[in-house]
Amino acid sequence: MRAGKMDRRVTLLKWQETGRDAMNTPIEGWAAVATVWAQQRPERGGERFTAAQIAGARVMTFHIRYRTDIGVKDRLSYEGQIFEISDVRELGRRVVSEIDCVAVQE
């Protein structure tokens, strides 16, 4: 992977304890783990017919330097949009992690 192609910044998010309240109960939420350089792959759009409505999905693929600490339970933030990670694959011999993700509709 050539570093020149990695021209986007993405933030990797994990669900974890972010603090404690007055009763010492854990407060959980999405916390930033790392901000890394990434290459955005061409977008694929998707539409599906559900409950008599058409629902669209924004699907993105990113390539980042190989990491072992991300998975499908995590999220990714890119340009102010939150994406749920749907798949993480290793490309090459631990050179690149390819991340497929879908935009979260809130």
Q: What are the pLDDT digits (tens) for 26-64?
A: 999 999 999 999 999 876 655 544 545 555 677 889 999
Q: Per the structure block, which two tokens stand in for 12?
A: 């990797």
pTM for this entry: 0.79
Task: Say what the pLDDT of residue 1 is.
Answer: 58
**Model pLDDT, residue 38:** 94
Portion of the chain with pLDDT greater than 70, in percent: 82
- Let me know: does 102 contact 76? Beta carbons within 8 Å: no
Q: Are 7 and 101 within 8 A, CB to CB?
A: no
Tally of domains within the chain: 1
Element (H, E) at 90: strand 81-91
Q: Using CA atoms in the order 55, 40, 34, 24, what is the torsion angle rounded to 10 degrees?
A: 0
| Residue-number span of the structural domain to which 83 is assigned | 3-103
CATH number at residue 40: 2.40.10.270
Cβ pair 70, 63 in contact under 8 A: no
